[in-house]
Amino acid sequence: MSETESGLPFEPVYGPQTLSGWDPDTQLGQPGEFPYTRGVYPTMYTGRPWTMRQYAGFGTATESNARYHQLIEHGTTGLSVAFDLPTQMGYDSDAPLAGGEVGKVGVAIDSIDDMRTLFDKIPLGEVSTSMTINAPAALLLLLYELVAEEQGVDAGMLTGTIQNDVLKEYIARGTYIYPPAESLRLVTDIFRYCGEHLPRWNTISISGYHMAEAGATPAQEIAFTLSNGIEYVRAAVAAGQDVDTFAPRLAFFFVSRTTLLEEVAKFRAARRIWARVMSEEFGATNPKSLMLRFHTQTAGVQLTAQQPEVNLVRVAVQGLAAVLGGTQSLHTNAFDEAIALPSEKAARLALRTQQVLAYETDVAKTVDPFAGSYAVEALTDQVEGAARDLMARVDELGGAVQAIEHGFQKNEIEKSAYAIATEIDAGERVVVGVNKYRSEAEEPFELLRSDPTLEAQQTERLTVLRSERDNEAVERHLAALRECASRPGGHDSNVLHPMKEALRARATVGEVCDTLREVWGVYSPPDAF
Distance CA 32, CA 357 (A): 22
SS3 of 63-115: HHHHHHHHHHHCCCCEEEEEECHHHHCCCCCCCHHHCCCCCCCCECCCCHHHH
pLDDT at 524: 87
Strand order, beta sheet including 294-298: 201-202, 159-162, 128-132, 78-82, 51-56, 329-331, 294-298, 250-256, 204-207
For the chain, give every domain's residue range: 38-425
Residues 328, 301 contacting (CB under 8 angstroms)? no
What's this model's pTM, rounded to 2 decimal places? 0.91
Which residue spans within 122-264 are E strands per DSSP?
128-132, 159-162, 201-202, 204-207, 250-256
- Paired residues of 132 in beta bridges: 82
Is domain 38-425 classified as CATH 3.20.20.240? yes
Q: What is the pLDDT along the chain (529 residues), one digit of tens a residue?
A: 677 777 778 788 877 766 554 454 455 789 999 999 999 999 999 999 999 987 777 778 998 999 899 888 888 878 889 999 999 999 999 999 999 999 988 999 999 999 999 999 999 999 999 999 999 999 999 999 999 999 999 999 999 999 999 999 999 989 999 999 999 999 999 999 999 999 999 999 999 999 999 999 999 999 999 999 999 999 999 999 999 999 999 999 999 999 999 999 999 999 999 999 999 999 999 999 999 999 999 999 999 999 999 999 999 999 999 999 999 999 999 999 898 878 889 989 999 999 999 999 999 999 999 999 999 999 999 999 999 999 999 999 999 999 999 999 999 999 999 999 999 999 999 999 999 999 877 666 666 666 778 899 999 999 999 999 999 999 999 999 999 999 987 667 899 999 999 999 999 999 999 999 999 999 988 764 3
Distance CA 29, CA 355 (A): 29
pLDDT at 39: 96
- Local structure of residue 341 (DSSP, 8 states): B
**Cβ contacts of 325 within 8 Å, gap of 6 or more:** 256, 263, 264, 266, 267, 268, 296
Is 250 strand, coil or helix?
strand
pLDDT at 528: 42
pLDDT at 1: 65
Sign of CA dihedral 376, 377, 378, 379: positive
Distance CA 117, CA 67 (A): 13
- Local structure of residue 37 (DSSP, 8 states): T
197 burial via Cβ count (<10 Å: 0-12, 13-18, 19+): middle
- Local structure of residue 215 (DSSP, 8 states): T
Residues 44, 31 contacting (CB under 8 angstroms)? yes
pLDDT at 527: 61
Residue 205: phi and psi, rounded to 5, are -120, 95
HSE-CB for 497 with a 13 A CA cutoff: 14
Distance CA 77, CA 52 (A): 5
**Cβ contacts of 334 within 8 Å, gap of 6 or more:** 342, 343, 346, 347, 349, 350
